[in-house]
C-alpha cells in the first residue's frame, strides 16, 4: 500500500459514519411564508412559536430518560443563587425497624432525657439526625455532598428531609436551604401553639446526632460552606457522634464474633474488620435486628450520582435516597438503644455488653452504675452462661478489682484478685498482675510477709523473663531481706487473704 492509498484509508477511517444532525429550532410565523420554505430547504426542524417551549422540554426529557422530580418525589425550591430539590418523607410509628417499632424508639428518646445528657452534657433542643451521601470518601476540596439528609422523631413516628444537588452549579442554593432548615429546625418542625411567644424565645438549638460525623460528615459540609464563603449553621451546635459510645458498648463482642464467622449483609460479606469497626450496617443486624433487602451498597453510590450528572437519568437515584433514609432511621433507633442502656432502662444481653456498659459508666463518671455492671458480668452463675464467655468474666473481675482499688476498698480488691486467679486458662500477663497485686496487699496492708513472698514468687514465674520481671525480682529481694531481718514486734499478723498460688519448697 503506497502513501496515497494509506492516506486515503486513514481519511476513510477518521470520517466514519456521519453524526446524526441535532435538530435546530427555527421559530417562524405560524402561517408559513418564505422563512418556512427557506428553513425546510436547509434541513432545519421548523416549529411554530407556541410549540417551541414544549418541543424543547420534550427533547430535554428524552435526553435525560426520566424526570428527576417525578422519580425522586421531590419539590423544587428557589434559594439564593439557584434551586434545590427537597424530598420529605414521614414514617408512621407502627412501621417496624428491626425488632421494634419506630414508636418504641420515639418513646425512649422522649422519656430518657437523662441518658442524652449523660452522653452529651451540652445537649439542648431536639435531636436532629444528620447524614451525608458524597461523591467520595477521601474528603478534601474535591469531595462534596450531593445529598444532605436530616431526620427527627415526630410524635411516635419519624420524619426525614433530604436536600438533593441537581448539579454542581446548584451547591450554593443547597447550602442556603440547609442553613434555613437547621436555623429554623425547632420552629418549623415543632411549632408552638397559637398565642405563644415567638419560637425563638423558647426553642434551643438542635443537637446534631451523627454516626462518624465528627471525622467525616461535619468537617466535609463545613468545608463546602467555607469554599462558598458562607457561615456554617453547625458551628457551635451540640454534637453527639454515636459511633464512640457504640464502639465502647459493642466493639469487643463484635470483634470476637467476627473472628469466628463472616456475616452476609447488604448483598456482600462483611469482614471481621468491619464488625470490629462497628459499621452501621453491622449494628443494624446485631443490635436492631434489621436486615436490609435490595439496598444499594455504599461504594456504588458515587457512581450512581455521576451517571446521573452525565445522562440526566435519575432512575438509579431512588435507591440512593432510600439508603440515606434507612441510615437516618437506623441512626435514630441506635441512638435510642444507647440512651436506653445508659439510662438503666435496657439490661445488658451478655457479659461482654454488661462489661462494656460498666466501662462506659466509669468513663461517664457514674461509678456506682459501673460497679453494678462489673459485678453482674463477673458473677459465675448469674444471668449469663459462664462456659461461653469466660474471657468476659475474667475481664470483668479485672476491672472490678481495679475499681475497688481506686476507691480504696483494698480488702474487696484482694478478694476479687483471688477470684480472678481461680479462672482456668488465665492469660500469663493477667495472672502476673493478679499475683503482684496480691503480693502488694499482703506486704503493705495485711502485713503477711510469708504470703507476700509466695505471691511474688508466683508473679515471677508468670512473668517468665518479660518486661515486668525486674520489678518482680526487686520486690522479691526486698521481701527476702525483710524476712531475714526478722518479723516486727508481735509477730506476723495473719492475713485474711489465703494465698492461692502454692510455691514448691
What are 54-64's pLDDT values in tens digits? 545 444 544 44
Characterize 250-266 residue by residue with b for buried, 16 or more Cβ atoms within 10 angstroms of its Cβ, and e for exposed. bbbbbbbbbeeeebebb
pLDDT of the residue at 188? 55
Mean pLDDT of the region 11-37: 51
**What dotted CATH number matches 70-190+200-346?**
3.30.420
Q: What angle do CA 201, 158, 329 make, to 5 degrees?
A: 115
Distance CA 134, CA 145 (A): 4
Give the Cβ contact number of residue 16 at 10 Å: 7
pLDDT of the residue at 62? 43
pLDDT of the residue at 192? 47
Q: What angle do CA 210, 212, 214 make, to 5 degrees?
A: 80
Find where cell 415567638 sits.
198
Please, which contacts does 290-296 make with residues 24 or more away whose CB atoms are closer than 8 Å?
Answer: 290/97, 290/98, 290/330, 291/265, 292/265, 292/266, 292/326, 294/319, 295/266, 295/267, 295/319, 295/322, 295/323, 295/326, 296/320, 296/322, 296/323
Residue 29, pLDDT above cutoff 80: no
pLDDT of the residue at 52? 55
pLDDT of the residue at 59? 47
Helix (H) or strand (E) holding 158: strand 157-164
Return the bridge partners of 153, or none: 158
Mean pLDDT of the region 213-217: 95
288: Cα separation from own chain's centroid: 14
pLDDT of the residue at 503? 40
Instruction: Kindly list the domain boundaries of the chain, sorted by start residue.
Output: 3-64, 70-190+200-346, 348-408, 425-505
Mean pLDDT of the region 403-420: 94
The SS3 assignment for 241 reads strand
How close are the terminal C-alpha atoms of the chain, in Å?
A: 102
Give pLDDT tens digits for 154-212.
988 999 999 999 998 999 999 999 999 999 986 655 554 445 555 444 568 899 999 99
pLDDT of the residue at 100? 96
Distance CA 40, CA 206 (A): 63
Amino acid at each position: 500500500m503506497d502513501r496515497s492509498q494509506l492516506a486515503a484509508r486513514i481519511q476513510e477511517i477518521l470520517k466514519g459514519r456521519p453524526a446524526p444532525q441535532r435538530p435546530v429550532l427555527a421559530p417562524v410565523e405560524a402561517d408559513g411564508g418564505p422563512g418556512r420554505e427557506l428553513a425546510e430547504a436547509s434541513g432545519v426542524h421548523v416549529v411554530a412559536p407556541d410549540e417551541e417551549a414544549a418541543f424543547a422540554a420534550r427533547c430535554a426529557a428524552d435526553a435525560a430518560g426520566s424526570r428527576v422530580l417525578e422519580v425522586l418525589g421531590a419539590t423544587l425550591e428557589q434559594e439564593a443563587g439557584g434551586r434545590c430539590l427537597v424530598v420529605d418523607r414521614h414514617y408512621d410509628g407502627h412501621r417496624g425497624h428491626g425488632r421494634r417499632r419506630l414508636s418504641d424508639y420515639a418513646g425512649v428518646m422522649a422519656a430518657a432525657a437523662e441518658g442524652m445528657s449523660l452522653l452529651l452534657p451540652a445537649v439542648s433542643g431536639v435531636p436532629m439526625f444528620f447524614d451525608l451521601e458524597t461523591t467520595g470518601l477521601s474528603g478534601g476540596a474535591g469531595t462534596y455532598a450531593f445529598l444532605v439528609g436530616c431526620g427527627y422523631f415526630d410524635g411516635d413516628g419519624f420524619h426525614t428531609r433530604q436536600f438533593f444537588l441537581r448539579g454542581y452549579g446548584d451547591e450554593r442554593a443547597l447550602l442556603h436551604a440547609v442553613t434555613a432548615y437547621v436555623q429554623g429546625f425547632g420552629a418549623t418542625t415543632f411549632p408552638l401553639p397559637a398565642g405563644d411567644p415567638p419560637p425563638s424565645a423558647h426553642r434551643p438549638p438542635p443537637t446534631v446526632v451523627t454516626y462518624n460525623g465528627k471525622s467525616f460528615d461535619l468537617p466535609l459540609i463545613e468545608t463546602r460552606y467555607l469554599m462558598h464563603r458562607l457561615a456554617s449553621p453547625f458551628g457551635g451546635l451540640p454534637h453527639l457522634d454515636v459511633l464512640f459510645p457504640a464502639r465502647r458498648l459493642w466493639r469487643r463482642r463484635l470483634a470476637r464474633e467476627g473472628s469466628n464467622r463472616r456475616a452476609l449483609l447488604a448483598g456482600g460479606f462483611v469482614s471481621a474488620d468491619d464488625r470490629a469497626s462497628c459499621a452501621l450496617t453491622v449494628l443494624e443486624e446485631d443490635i436492631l435486628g434489621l436486615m436490609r433487602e435490595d439496598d444499594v451498597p455504599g461504594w456504588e453510590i458515587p457512581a450512581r450520582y455521576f451517571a446521573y450528572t452525565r445522562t440526566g437519568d435519575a432512575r438509579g437515584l431512588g435507591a440512593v435516597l432510600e439508603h440515606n433514609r434507612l441510615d437516618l432511621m437506623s441512626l435514630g433507633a441506635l441512638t435510642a438503644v444507647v440512651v436506653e442502656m445508659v439510662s438503666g432502662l435496657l439490661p445488658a444481653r451478655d457479659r461482654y455488653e454488661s462489661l462494656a456498659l460498666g466501662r462506659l459508666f466509669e468513663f461517664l463518671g457514674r461509678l456506682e452504675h459501673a460497679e453494678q455492671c462489673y459485678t453482674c458480668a463477673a458473677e459465675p452463675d448469674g444471668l449469663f452462661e459462664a462456659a461461653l464467655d469466660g474471657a468476659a468474666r475474667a475481664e470483668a473481675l479485672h476491672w472490678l478489682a481495679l475499681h475497688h482499688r481506686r476507691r480504696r476498698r483494698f480488702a474487696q480488691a484482694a478478694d476479687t484478685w483471688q477470684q480472678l486467679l481461680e479462672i482456668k486458662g488465665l492469660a500469663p500477663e493477667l495472672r502476673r498482675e493478679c499475683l503482684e497485686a496480691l503480693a502488694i496487699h499482703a506486704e503493705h496492708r495485711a502485713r503477711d510477709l510469708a504470703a507476700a513472698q509466695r505471691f511474688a514468687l508466683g508473679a515471677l514465674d508468670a512473668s517468665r523473663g518479660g518486661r515486668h520481671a525486674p520489678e518482680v525480682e526487686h520486690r522479691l529481694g526486698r521481701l527476702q531481706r525483710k524476712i531475714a531481718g526478722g518479723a516486727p514486734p508481735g509477730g506476723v499478723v495473719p492475713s485474711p487473704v489465703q494465698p492461692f498460688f502454692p510455691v514448691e519448697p
